[in-house]
A and B are shown apart, each in its own frame.
Chain A
Amino acid sequence: MTSAAARSLSALHRAHAEPAWLAEARQAAVARFRSAGLPTTRDEDWRFTNLAALAEVTFTAPPEAEGPAARLLAGAPAPAGARLVFENGRFRRDLSTGARLPAGAVLASLADVLHHAPEAIRPHLGRLAAPAALPFVAANAALLEDGAFLLLPPGAEVEAPIELVFAGGAEHPVAASPRVLVVAGAGARATLAEIYLGTGDVYLVNAVTELVLGEGAQVEHVKLQDDGPRAFHVSTLFAEQAAASRLVAHGLSLGGQIGRTEVRVRLAGEGGELAVSGLFMADGARVQDAFSWVEHAVPRCTTTETYKGILDGRSRGVFAGRIRVLPGAQKTNARQTSSNLLLSRDAVVDTKPQLEIFADDVKCGHGGTVGQLDEAALFYLRSRGVPEAEARSLLIWAFAAEMVDRIGPAALRARGKALVMARLPAAGRIVEAA
Chain B
Amino acid sequence: MSTAERLQLKELTEQKYRYGFVTDVDEDKVPKGLSEDVIRLISAKKDEPRFMLEWRLQAYRRWIEMEEPTWANVRYPRIDYQDIVYYSAPRPRKAPGSMDEVDPEVKRAFQKLGIPLEEQMRLAGVAVDAVFDSVSVATTYKKKLAELGIVFCSFSEAVRQHPALVERYLGSVVPATDNFFAALNSAVFSDGSFVYVPKGVRCPMELSTYFRINAKDTGQFERTLIVADEGASVSYLEGCTAPMRDENQLHAAVVELVALDGAHVKYSTVQNWYPGDAEGKGGIYNFVTKRGKAMSRAKISWTQVETGSAITWKYPSCILQGDDAVGEFYSVALTNHLQQADTGTKMIHVGRNTRSTIISKGISAGKGQNTYRGLVKVLKGAEGARNYSQCDSLLIGDRCGAHTFPYIEVRNPSATVEHEATTSKIDEEQLFYCRQRGISPEDAVSMIVNGFAKQVLKELPMEFAVEAQKLLGMSLEGSVG
Which A residues form the contact surface with B (CB < 8 A)?
44, 48, 327-328, 330, 340, 342-345, 347-372
Nearest A-chain residue to B375, judged by Cβ: A352
Contact of A357 with B408 in the complex, beta carbons under 8 Å: no
Chain A residues closer than 8 Å to B71, beta-carbon distance: 44
Q: Does B436 contact A (CB under 8 A)?
A: no
Asked if A365 meets B421 with Cβ closer than 8 Å, knowing A352-B406, A355-B403, the reply is yes
Q: Nearest Cβ distance between residue A280 and chain B, in whole angstroms?
A: 15
Q: Which of B410-445 contact A (CB under 8 A)?
A: 410-425
Q: Nearest Cβ distance between residue B35 and chain A, in whole angstroms?
A: 31
In angstroms, Cα B380 to Cα A352, docked, is: 19
In angstroms, Cα B301 to Cα A332, docked, is: 35
Contact of A367 with B421 in the complex, beta carbons under 8 Å: yes
Q: Does B13 contact A (CB under 8 A)?
A: no
Q: Nearest Cβ distance between residue B239 and chain A, in whole angstroms?
A: 30
Contact of B413 with A344 in the complex, beta carbons under 8 Å: yes
Q: Does B89 contact A (CB under 8 A)?
A: no
Task: Pick from A327, A363, A372: contact of B398, CB below 8 A.
Answer: A327
Q: Can you list 26 residue pairs at the A/B interface with Cβ under 8 Å?
A: A330-B398, A342-B415, A345-B412, A348-B409, A348-B410, A352-B407, A354-B403, A354-B405, A355-B402, A357-B395, A357-B402, A358-B400, A360-B398, A361-B395, A361-B425, A363-B424, A365-B420, A365-B421, A366-B404, A367-B418, A368-B406, A368-B417, A369-B418, A371-B415, A371-B416, A371-B417
Chain A residues closer than 8 Å to B418, beta-carbon distance: 367-369
In angstroms, Cα B111 to Cα A79, docked, is: 82
In angstroms, Cα B33 to Cα A80, docked, is: 75
In angstroms, Cα B410 to Cα A348, docked, is: 6
Contact of A350 with B407 in the complex, beta carbons under 8 Å: yes
Q: Nearest Cβ distance between residue B450 and chain A, in whole angstroms?
A: 19
In angstroms, Cα B424 to Cα A187, docked, is: 32
Contact of A360 with B406 in the complex, beta carbons under 8 Å: no
In angstroms, Cα B413 to Cα A218, docked, is: 40
Contact of B413 with A343 in the complex, beta carbons under 8 Å: yes
Chain A residues closer than 8 Å to B393, beta-carbon distance: 355, 357
In angstroms, Cα B402 to Cα A350, docked, is: 23
Asked if A365 meets B422 with Cβ closer than 8 Å, knowing A360-B397, A360-B400, the reply is yes
In angstroms, Cα B409 to Cα A371, docked, is: 12
For A357, A359, A360, A364, which residue has the most chain B Cβ atoms within 10 angstroms?
Answer: A360
In angstroms, Cα B170 to Cα A422, docked, is: 55
Contact of B413 with A353 in the complex, beta carbons under 8 Å: no
Nearest B-chain residue to A349, judged by Cβ: B410
Chain B residues closer than 8 Å to A372, beta-carbon distance: 413-416
Chain B residues closer than 8 Å to A365, beta-carbon distance: 420-423
Apart from A345-B412, A360-B397, A371-B415: 19 A-B pairs, beta carbons within 8 A: A44-B71, A349-B410, A352-B406, A352-B407, A354-B405, A355-B393, A357-B395, A357-B402, A357-B403, A360-B398, A361-B398, A362-B395, A366-B420, A367-B419, A368-B417, A370-B378, A370-B417, A372-B413, A372-B414
Chain A residues closer than 8 Å to B395, beta-carbon distance: 357, 359-362
Q: Which of B362-409 contact A (CB under 8 A)?
A: 378, 380, 393, 395-409
Q: Which of B93-128 contact A (CB under 8 A)?
A: none
Nearest B-chain residue to A342, judged by Cβ: B413
Chain A residues closer than 8 Å to B404, beta-carbon distance: 353-355, 366
Asked if A370 meets B424 with Cβ closer than 8 Å, knowing A350-B408, A362-B395, the reply is no
Q: Nearest Cβ distance between residue B406 and chain A, in whole angstroms?
A: 6
Asked if A360 meets B408 with Cβ closer than 8 Å, knowing A353-B419, A371-B415, the reply is no
Contact of B400 with A345 in the complex, beta carbons under 8 Å: no
Asked if A358 meets B401 with Cβ closer than 8 Å, knowing A367-B418, A371-B416, the reply is yes
Closest 6 CB pairs of A and B: A342-B413, A360-B395, A368-B419, A365-B422, A364-B423, A360-B425
In angstroms, Cα B421 to Cα A354, docked, is: 10
Binding site secondary structure of chain B = strand
In angstroms, Cα B417 to Cα A352, docked, is: 13
Chain A residues closer than 8 Å to B416, beta-carbon distance: 369-372
Q: Nearest Cβ distance between residue A396 and chain B, in whole angstroms?
A: 13
Chain B residues closer than 8 Å to A360, beta-carbon distance: 395-398, 400, 425
Binding site secondary structure of chain A = strand
Nearest B-chain residue to A361, judged by Cβ: B425
In angstroms, Cα B422 to Cα A365, docked, is: 4
Contact of A359 with B398 in the complex, beta carbons under 8 Å: yes
In angstroms, Cα B420 to Cα A353, docked, is: 10
In angstroms, Cα B403 to Cα A345, docked, is: 33
In angstroms, Cα B395 to Cα A359, docked, is: 8
In angstroms, Cα B408 to Cα A348, docked, is: 11
In angstroms, Cα B397 to Cα A372, docked, is: 41
Q: Nearest Cβ distance between residue A126 and chain B, in whole angstroms?
A: 30
Chain A residues closer than 8 Å to B412, beta-carbon distance: 342, 345
In angstroms, Cα B395 to Cα A330, docked, is: 12
Q: Nearest Cβ distance between residue B445 and chain A, in whole angstroms?
A: 13
In angstroms, Cα B129 to Cα A11, docked, is: 68
Chain A residues closer than 8 Å to B423, beta-carbon distance: 355, 357, 362-365
Nearest B-chain residue to A339, judged by Cβ: B418
In angstroms, Cα B436 to Cα A150, docked, is: 57
Q: Nearest Cβ distance between residue B312 and chain A, in whole angstroms?
A: 18
Q: Nearest Cβ distance between residue A346 and chain B, in whole angstroms?
A: 8
Q: Nearest Cβ distance between residue A290 and chain B, in whole angstroms?
A: 14
In angstroms, Cα B317 to Cα A64, docked, is: 58
Q: Nearest Cβ distance between residue A223 and chain B, in whole angstroms?
A: 25
In angstroms, Cα B64 to Cα A422, docked, is: 56
Asked if A370 meets B410 with Cβ closer than 8 Å, knowing A358-B401, A359-B398, the reply is yes
For A330, A368, A370, which residue has the most chain B Cβ atoms within 10 angstroms?
Answer: A370
In angstroms, Cα B422 to Cα A330, docked, is: 16
Asked if A362 meets B425 with Cβ closer than 8 Å, knowing A44-B71, A352-B408, the reply is yes
Q: Nearest Cβ distance between residue B378 and chain A, in whole angstroms?
A: 8
Chain B residues closer than 8 Å to A328, beta-carbon distance: 398
In angstroms, Cα B424 to Cα A361, docked, is: 7
Chain A residues closer than 8 Å to B405, beta-carbon distance: 352, 354
Q: Nearest Cβ distance between residue A376 and chain B, in whole angstroms?
A: 13
Chain A residues closer than 8 Å to B406, beta-carbon distance: 352-354, 368
In angstroms, Cα B409 to Cα A109, docked, is: 42
In angstroms, Cα B422 to Cα A353, docked, is: 12
In angstroms, Cα B419 to Cα A181, docked, is: 37
Nearest A-chain residue to B412, judged by Cβ: A345
Asked if A364 meets B413 with Cβ closer than 8 Å, knowing A352-B407, A355-B404, the reply is no
Chain A residues closer than 8 Å to B399, beta-carbon distance: 327
In angstroms, Cα B267 to Cα A82, docked, is: 65
In angstroms, Cα B422 to Cα A222, docked, is: 29
Q: Nearest Cβ distance between residue A205 and chain B, in whole angstroms?
A: 28
Task: Pick from B401, B417, B422: contact of A356, CB below 8 A.
Answer: B401
Nearest A-chain residue to B415, judged by Cβ: A370
In angstroms, Cα B408 to Cα A349, docked, is: 8
Chain A residues closer than 8 Å to B411, beta-carbon distance: 348
For B399, B403, B410, B422, which residue has the most chain A Cβ atoms within 10 angstroms?
Answer: B410
In angstroms, Cα B103 to Cα A192, docked, is: 78
Contact of A347 with B413 in the complex, beta carbons under 8 Å: yes
Nearest B-chain residue to A348, judged by Cβ: B411
In angstroms, Cα B406 to Cα A355, docked, is: 9
Nearest A-chain residue to B373, judged by Cβ: A354
Contact of A368 with B424 in the complex, beta carbons under 8 Å: no
Q: Nearest Cβ distance between residue A284 and chain B, in whole angstroms?
A: 16
In angstroms, Cα B71 to Cα A310, docked, is: 30
In angstroms, Cα B403 to Cα A347, docked, is: 29
In angstroms, Cα B409 to Cα A372, docked, is: 14
In angstroms, Cα B417 to Cα A371, docked, is: 7
In angstroms, Cα B255 to Cα A52, docked, is: 38
Task: Pick from A344, A355, A369, A370: contact of B421, CB below 8 A.
Answer: A355
Q: Nearest Cβ distance between residue B418 and chain A, in whole angstroms?
A: 5
In angstroms, Cα B286 to Cα A110, docked, is: 55
In angstroms, Cα B423 to Cα A365, docked, is: 6
Q: Nearest Cβ distance between residue B370 and chain A, in whole angstroms?
A: 10
